[in-house]
Structure 1
């Protein structure tokens, strides 16, 4: 049995590192890449299956097409969502993703 792993190009990896850096400046300290998505979170929580990004304080970004999901309960983080959205849109523009 083989597991297929999608390797990101060097330019995508660079653009993603720039996005991670910007999101960290906005207070999203944690991130996780999984199945073509990257989740940014402000804090961690413990579940039965281990420690995860708090589901009520995160922004999820689809890496191959424009798709953003957020759930923010913290007012400080909520106020930063317009700047986070712009950083994500800048990532998509750098990747050449229009749809």
Structure 2
């Protein structure tokens, strides 16, 4: 039985590292990349990312999902948005994609 491993291009890995660094400065830890989504959160619930304070970013489309139960995190949304937009710009993903 073989396992398919998804290998990201070097430029995408670099852009993802920059996004992870910026999100970490905003208080969000990188959790995982799955099914085309990159998940960040402030806390874990067991072995899973808590849905309470979470940001998910789609790899290929300009699409973001966020859920916060900590009102202080809403103040960080403009910076979160800008970090994500910078990632998409570096990846060459635009509104038209």
Structure 1 residue 87 displacement after superposition = 0.3
Q: Normalized against structure 2, the TM-score is what?
A: 0.90
- Between Structure 1 and Structure 2, which shows a larger proportion of strand residues? 1
Which runs of 4 or more aligned residues in structure 1 lie more than 2 Å from their structure 2 counterparts after TM superposition?
Answer: 1-6
Where does the alignment leave 5 or more consecutive residues of structure 2 unmatched? none
- Deviations for 1:59-89, whole angstroms, at most 9, x for unmatched residues? 0001111111000111121210111011000
Q: 1:7 matched to which residue of 2?
A: 7
The question of 1:22 aligning with 2:16 is answered no
The CA RMSD measured in Å over matched residues stands at 1.2
Unaligned runs of 5+ in 1: none
Query: Could you tell me whether the CA contact under 8 Å between 1:30 and 1:53 is conserved in 2?
Result: no
Cα offset, 1:92, TM superposition: 0.1
Question: Contact 1:30/1:43 (CA < 8 Å) preserved in 2?
Answer: no
Corresponding residue number in structure 2 for 1:36: 36
TM-score for the superposition, normalised by structure 1: 0.88
- Secondary structure of the corresponding residue to residue 80 of structure 2: helix
Aligned to 1:74: 70
- Number of aligned positions between the proteins: 95
